Structure 1
Amino acid sequence: MTSPTNKDIVLNAWQTFRTRDAKLIAAAFAPDAEWIAPARNATAVALDHTDHMIGAEAIARFISTEMHRLFTEIDIAFRAVHADGDSVIVEERMRATLPGGRSYDNDYCFVFVVEAGRIKQVREYMDTRKGWQMVFGEAAA
């Protein structure tokens, strides 16, 4: 049997994220993994959370529990997945419901770095202005 490719590892991790099982999610990441998002992005500000998570457990806790305080009925649609060497790029659209029933709809790009079969780093990019408008309202942007 062949080992999973880095692309397989990242796609399998996305499936694991859906389980909201922190232990399973943490296992997809290296113990010292980092997740880096744009500074002061709307999600981090709304949740009073860091935009630079360090450690598999911190990342898993955010994915399994913390982000769901802001987003419910999450729907993620992949637009493309590209892999080259240890890097896997995921382009996606995330739709969700915000507190009070407001809609969230934003495009994202994630750059995953895989090392020794686990995710070592994630760099997250999104339309931060659009995120602020949806989370905090037009005037806040």
Structure 2
Amino acid sequence: MNAASTPAGAAASNKQHMQEVMAELAKGNGKPFADSMADDFRWTIPGNTSWSRTYEGKQAVISELLQPLFAQFATRYTNTAHRIIAEGDMVVIECQGHVTTKAGKAYNNSYCYVCRMEGGQLKELMEYLDTALVSTALEAPPVAA
């Protein structure tokens, strides 16, 4: 049994992977984050905003969540992790995003991502955030087909 196959080894490996991904996101490079998503990745945003729902599959996350969201941004989006905690296949990330929308609004949201990892990839992400800020700073996304 190698270290990564033990719960403590998996936690350390998952934590290190997400530290690297978030370090790139802090520089405005979201590619490692997208590359980490499994094909059957699931991203859930709870609440009652127009963005709140579960996005099923990597393609849906990209086309129905990330592309419409980033289309509203006038500046490069950055997201800086302040704390990363890992246990087994779970990684929790407290982070702060920074961007200005094309409408000139600051969209500097605080997040808590609760992630489930499998085989070094993101399988699930539950995103807790300031839903009031979402409602005041962002336009509604297009209706999914």
TM-score, normalized by the shorter chain, greater than 0.5: yes
Distance 1:100 1:60 in 2: 22
Q: Which runs of 4+ in 1 moved over 4 A?
A: none
Q: CA deviation at 1:116?
A: 1.6
Q: Which of the two has greater strand per residue?
A: 1
Match of 2:99 in 1: 96
Cα distance, 1:58–1:11 mapped onto 2, change above 3 Å = farther
Selected match of 1:34 from 38, 42, 45 = 42
Amino acid at match of 1:114: M
Note if contact 1:26-1:57 (Cα within 8 Å) is conserved in structure 2. no
CA offsets 1:23-77 (integer angstroms, 9 cap, x no match): x6554122211001124435x2xxxxx73111122224444x3321122322322
Distance 1:117 1:126, change over 3 A: same
Q: TM-score, normalised by structure 1?
A: 0.72
After TM superposition, the score normalised by the length of structure 2 is 0.70
RMSD between superposed Cα atoms in Å: 2.7
CA contact under 8 A between 2:92 and 2:115: conserved in structure 1?
yes
Secondary structure at 1:101 match in 2: coil
Moved more, 96-105 or 113-122: 96-105
Q: Does 1:71 align with 2:73?
A: yes
Aligned residues between the structures: 126
Corresponding residue for residue 57 of structure 2: 55
Q: Secondary structure at the match of 1:122?
A: strand
Q: Which structure 2 segments of 5+ residues have no match?
A: 5-11, 140-145
Percent pairwise identity: 23
Gap change, CA 1:60 and 1:100, over 3 Å in 2: closer
Q: Please tell me the residue identity of whatever aligns with 2:94.
A: E
Report the equivalent of 1:109. Answer: 112
AA aligned to 2:60 is A
Corresponding residue of 1:134:
137
**Structure 1 gap segments, 5+ residues each:** 45-49, 137-141
